[in-house]
Amino acid sequence: MRQRFRTEARDLLELVLLPGLAAILPWSWCFALFRRLAHWHWLYRTPCNQALDQAKKRGWVGPDEAQWIWRRRLVTLVDHADHYLGLWRSDAWMRRHLHVTGQWPTVGQTVLLTTFHWGAGYWGLRSAAAHGLRSHALVATLESPAYQGRTLLTWYARARNAHVARTLGAPTIDIVHRLRDVVRALRNHKALLGLIDIPSDDAKASITVDVLGLKASVPRGLMRLVVDHKVPVVLYITGLNTDDGSRFLHIQPLDAGDTVESLAARLFGELDRLIRSDAPAWHFWSIAERFFPASAQ
């Protein structure tokens, strides 16, 4: 019970109280505070230490480990804070702080909007919604062991999923248990929004891709549907400027090609480029042994 209390107390602090400051403070003040908090070693200690360890094993931490993990903590904190910013800030706030390059696709067509677990992604989907795109976000199941015995984390994940659904104006779809709903949405010419860089350990079919000179195993199912139904793909990347807290959004159409292999190569070639440009901004370093099973140490 003592350990459960500590876990819940840490989740309250790291998922609600500290990132929730973004709802009540001017963003410039809040981000200045976040930059200081990111130097605290106890903040997000376990996932950040795991991320540092996994990135070091694969050669993606330079000589300044303190700077690497500071950036990792800061991106994590801002990513959580965006949940509260999104609830309390208007599109006018977004226009002031988000710098956009590229164009969203025409409203009303079947399309897959896709991105990666890199940077701080909420304002990308908020921008898509402001453009008029109503997309079903594909989300991970909340039945995984990571949520067992963590009441506040489960509540927080459900709240974020509900927030995403309200923002996009369409229900989320559990990609693990409701794959038929994905097929139905494509047949009904709906837009989908999904993060593509997830490990394949729970997937029925996987494909191997090259990322950072390593072999990664990722689910094949969504890419198979996109190729079979000839769905246009738009890749968007939402990043954080760690100097001033502003955001950038890059939107680009992606040629899906005629095979799953060609689509996977194009998508994960972009992930490779992103991680090389800012390795600490990739959220999945902490579970890299699942993403790169052949290189697990």
The two structure tokens encoding residue 229: 């139904």
168 within 8 A of 134, measured Cβ to Cβ: yes
Give 134-161 as a DSSP string: -EEEEE--S-SGGGTT-HHHHHHHHHHH
Number of domains in the chain: 1
247 within 8 A of 239, measured Cβ to Cβ: yes
Neighbouring C-beta atoms of residue 146, cutoff 10 Å: 13
- Bridge partners of 235, per DSSP, are 114, 252
- Supply the DSSP symbol for 144: S
208 within 8 A of 216, measured Cβ to Cβ: yes
The pLDDT averaged over each successive group of 10 residues in the chain (297 residues) is 91 98 98 98 96 96 96 98 97 97 92 96 96 93 78 95 96 82 86 92 83 94 90 96 97 90 96 97 95 71
> How far apart (Å, rounded) are the C-alpha atoms in residues 135 and 192?
5
> How far apart (Å, rounded) are the C-alpha atoms in residues 273 and 223?
20
> How far apart (Å, rounded) are the C-alpha atoms in residues 174 and 186?
15
Domain of residue 223 covers: 2-295
pTM: 0.94
Give 167-217 as a DSSP string: HHTS--EETTT-HHHHHHHHHTT-EEEEE----STT-SSEEEEEETTEEEE
Strand, helix or coil for residue 233: strand
Give exposure, 204-242, as e/b (b: 16+ Cβ within 10 Å): eebbebebbebebbbbbbbbebbbeeebbbbbbbbbbeb
Q: What is the pLDDT of residue 297?
A: 46
Token pair 């602090």 is found at 13
The two structure tokens encoding residue 118: 């890199």
- Bridge partners of 100, per DSSP, are 249
Listed in sequence order, the residues at least 6 apart from 81 whose beta carbon sits closer than 8 Å to its beta carbon are 19, 20, 21, 22, 30, 34
